[in-house]
Amino acid sequence: MDINGSAQAGANLPAIEVNVCEPERREPGLIVFPVNKATAERPMPHDGVLIGIGRSGEAAWRVETGTGVGGIWRTRRNTILITSRGRILELDMSGNTVGAWTSRSLDGAPGEAEGIPLDVGVVHHSTIELPSGNLLSLGTGLARVDAYPTSETDPDAPRAPADVKEDVIVEFTRAGDIVRRHNLGDILDTGRIGYYSVVSGELGPTPGGDLDWSHSNGLFYDPSDDSYLISIRHQDAIAKIGLADGELKWILGDPAGWSAPWSGKLLKPASEIEWQYHQHDPSLTSDGRVLCFDNGNCRAVPYAPRRKPHETYSRAVAFEIDESAGTVSEAWSFAGPPGETIYSSSQGGAVELPETGNIFCNFSCIRTDSDGNPAEDNLDSRRHIRLFEVTRDADPEIVLDITIPVNRETGTSYSSFRSIHIPEPPA
């Protein structure tokens, strides 16, 4: 790891363009987010850098990780957890590795990287710390489905037996002992699909590739009832599940395609609502709302017609949930500056900041084709980042607007994931 406080763009630090910054209205401390490279030769995220933005919009801190960074999480011991393609790292604020865990491949082979071995297939996207000090992470498994859909567009296409990718939620100690695991295929309907559940469009090893039924990407613990939120991207759903017993408490998302008994767990709209699609980064705000980044892919589930990239948009959105009534309403959203349509087809994040209550939004992977039009093809390496800090007003006001553009000289483009807040800049 390398740590450097320089704010100048270089080989491993991208250019950071500050479009708007109102320091006096911003959250004190640092907002830290990963920035991953992508090139035509290496289109998957790699060589991630953690960047800390100060109150005046300056890049005040950075750590070069040497790997593609997925999820990021700040622990109670003031360390940072990152998840990276089958491995979890714990870093101190100087960038030193103080913990490492590695998972098996889907065929059972042990991880090649150094670290404490975990008895789970390919950890990915999200690892969080629980109040006990244990870690909760997303792993990958294969579920045998006797009648899996063969088409996302033809409801009359035959179903066939298939081994599909499912997510496995594991709690483990820092010593690597598995405390519990929940196979998502045992909790939700493996016969229900979303767009990309049959033909994913992702590259590289799991969790990408075809027959990617769930593709979960985010976890958040709710201490009020010892449960966790999980963002299930390819089901266009956020679910709440009991940590101790794996009981499904509710499902937030488009109700199309859910059959009994799962349909009985769907939250029903208490008022007019726009569902989230292919979302990331679920969390609970200080007032108990469910916040997420709504990527907006397709804005439909099979077998309704899907929207094309130029027809959709992304946003941060908060939902008000009445668990006793089983209802949900849309409480707040932010989709970018007035007059702009921003589509971040993958990654992304939204987090409430503790002192101001502002929301920091990662429009993390804005893809464009060679003509500059919105795109979502993972093979396309032209991607840039837009970051906002906004107020929680009904009409949100932007107090920070940052662009991390494509490097036109090298052809390197950039994507991010979610963000964390650090109250005091590291020494």
267-286 confidence digits (pLDDT tens):
999 999 999 999 999 999 99
What letter would DSSP give residue 226? T
- Indicate the pLDDT class of residue 200, thresholds 50, 70 and 90: confident
Grade residue 8 by pLDDT with cuts at 50, 70 and 90: very low
pTM of the model: 0.95
pLDDT of residue 10: 45
Residue 168 in contact with residue 203, Cβ under 8 Å? no
Report in angstroms the alpha-carbon separations of 408 from 15, 183, 213, 413, 414.
11, 44, 36, 9, 12
Smallest Cα–Cα separation from 198: which of 185, 213, 208, 188?
Answer: 213
Question: Which token pair is 363?
Answer: 């429009």
* Residue 357, in any domain of the structure: no
Residue 427, judged by CB atoms within 10 A of its CB (0-12, 13-18, 19+), counts as exposed
Q: For the CA atoms of 140, 144, 150, 154, what is the dihedral angle to 10 degrees?
A: -90
Within a domain: 193:
yes
Q: CB–CB of 72/55 below 8 Å?
A: no
Distance of CA 302 to the CA centre of its chain: 22
| Residue 352 maps to a domain | no
Is residue 291 assigned to a domain?
no
Counted domains in the chain: 1
Longest distance between any two alpha carbons in the chain, whole Å? 61
Predicted confidence (pLDDT) per residue in 333-370, tens digit: 999 999 999 999 999 999 999 999 999 999 999 999 88
Q: Does 222 score more than 90 pLDDT?
A: yes
Domain limits for position 92: 71-266
The average confidence (pLDDT) of the chain is: 92
Q: Is the pLDDT of residue 150 over 90?
A: yes
d(CA 69, CA 104): 18
Inside any domain, residue 319: no
pLDDT score recorded for residue 228: 98
For the cut 50, the answer to whether the pLDDT of residue 9 exceeds it is: no
Q: Does residue 379 form part of some domain?
A: no
Residue 46 pLDDT grade (very low, low, confident, very high; cuts 50, 70, 90)? confident
Percent of the chain, pLDDT > 70?
Answer: 94
3-class state of residue 256 by DSSP = coil
Beta carbons of 293 and 281 less than 8 angstroms apart: yes
Residue 17 lies in a domain: no
| Burial 371-389, CB ≥16 within 10 A → b, else e | eeebbbebebbbbbbbbbb
On the question of pLDDT at 103 being above 70, the answer is: yes
Least confident of 84-88, 93-97, 210-214, 376-380: 376-380
Q: Stretch 36-59: mean pLDDT, rounded?
A: 90
Across the range 150-161, mean pLDDT stands at 95
Could you tell me if residue 204 is inside a domain?
A: yes
- Cα(131)–Cα(113) distance, rounded to whole angstroms? 28
